[in-house]
Structure 1
Amino acid sequence: MTKEEFYNELTKISALRDSRLNCAQLVKNDMKLFPYLIEILFNVDDKKSCHAAWVFEFVCEDYIYALIPHLDTFTKNIHKVHLESAIRPVSKVCQFMAKAYYSKENNTFKRLLSPEHKERIVETCFDWMINKHKVATKVFAMETLFLFGQNNAWIHTDLKHILEQDFQTQSAAYKSRAKHILHRMKKNT
């Protein structure tokens, strides 16, 4: 399938879960489409980049290691994503990466996720936390920051400050996750 044919497939999907899953299965069945998916995802002014982000999330949820050859591209471009429908799935993939990196089992992320990659992810997650984004994006960002902060105390310090500062003005979902993260940070000290 060419990039143009794949783009046309993306234009056909809807926000319905089954629609997104079917397109993700198409990619998982032919991983040669994954670079096209990333390319379309980072064409950030095209509204179909949101469709690519939805599919990207499902592919990475099932097989996060597909992202390994594209770590540079992904981490150099995540800050450019600005359509809210695309930011949420991208933030969730950042969480998947952090969980893979901090899993108990030895894996490729532990070897190949460089300090520069982590720095770009952390910086973007902090941007998502302090700017006006939907709760889901912030929740995935705070979890990612919590995980990467386990080896970098300054991340936990800054995250704690943001969570405490924003606590009263945020939604119940945000407050619930913030309490949970603050409790986990306290437990780790």
Structure 2
Amino acid sequence: MIFFNRIAVSNASTNCRNGIRDYVLKNPNLLPELIQFGTDLPNKNHYKAVWIIEMLAEHNTKILIPFIDTICETISHYKHESAIRGMSRVAYFLSTSKAITLTENQKEKLIEICLDWLIGDAKVAPKAYAMYALSHYAQKKDWIKEELRNIIDKDYLTQSAGYKAAAREVLKQINRH
């Protein structure tokens, strides 16, 4: 309960998030609670746990191995913008990690949500991370390469500078392969 309270009263400052991340790394027995908190979507503070899950995915992706199925099952249900942004980074880190091997089902779920974020009304950051994750999958799946090109071509002119910068980088990546 103390751990839940610590997350609930946390804020978005880097020091606060780093402190909780480091606490979880020193106490890996708390990881199931963190994942439970972060995937409990009716909980008004679930997005704060997602911030920590995102940091763990970036710095130590392997620690999430026992929870990848839970993350993949929940990822398409997030509605809170901050949670979606965080989970888009989690999807990217899971997709591109050399330290873990995803199952075909896990890959499919991540590809599906990335496509949803890309064609839906998600903010720029989730769209950018979705593009980066999809460009990784496009190296082995030609249909993703074509789909990604089509989506970028269709949306490019109406999107923000951030989206356009990510799109140019992704197009360079997929054109190399």
- In the superposition, the TM-score normalised over structure 2's length comes to 0.96
Alignment of 1:43 onto 2:40: yes
2:49 paired residue among 52, 55, 75: 52
1:16-66 C-alpha deviation (Å, 9 max, x unpaired): 111111111111110111111111111113221110011111122221001
Offset at 1:7?
0.9
2:34 and 2:28 map into 1 onto residues whose CA distance is 10
Residue type of the alignment partner of 2:111: V
Gaps of 5+ in 2: none
Structure 1 partner of 2:139: 150
Q: Which amino acid aligns with 1:167?
A: Y
State how 1:15-94 maps to structure 2 within 5 Å: 15-94=12-91
Q: In structure 2, what is the Cα distance between the partners aligned to 1:98 and 1:117? A: 9
Post-superposition offset of 1:73: 1.0
**RMSD value over aligned CA atoms?**
1.1
What secondary structure sits across from 1:151 in the alignment?
coil
Following TM superposition, the consecutive aligned residue runs of length 4 or more in structure 1 with deviations greater than 2 angstroms are none
Distance in 2, Cα, partners of 1:184 & 1:51? 33
**Offset from partner CA, 1:87-119 (integer Å, 9 cap, x none):** 11111011111221xx4xxx4x23xx1100000
Aligned to 1:171: 160
Distance in 1 separating the partners of 2:32 and 2:117? 25
- What amino acid maps onto 2:145 in structure 1? H
**Alpha-carbon distance in 2 for matches of 1:99, 1:127:** 19
For 2:148 and 2:44, locate their aligned partners in 1 and report how far apart those are by CA, in whole Å. Answer: 31
Determine if contact 2:51/2:83 at 8 Å carries over to the other structure: yes
User: Contact between 2:124 and 2:163, CA under 8 Å: does it hold in 1?
Assistant: yes
The one-character-per-residue Cα deviations of 1:119-143 (angstroms, maximum 9, x if unpaired) are 0000011111111111111111110
2:139 aligned counterpart, secondary structure: helix
State TM-score, norm by structure 1: 0.90
> Equivalent pairs: percent with the same residue?
32
8 A contact 2:72–2:106 mirrored in 1 = yes
Measure how far apart 1:144 and its partner are: 0.4
- 8 Å Cα contact 1:53-1:89 kept in structure 2: yes
Q: What is the Cα deviation at residue 68 of structure 1?
A: 0.7
Say if 1:64 and 1:96, in contact at 8 Å, map to a contact too. Answer: yes
Deviation at 1:156, TM superposition (A): 1.1
Is the 8 Å Cα contact of residues 53 and 86 (structure 1) preserved in structure 2?
Answer: yes
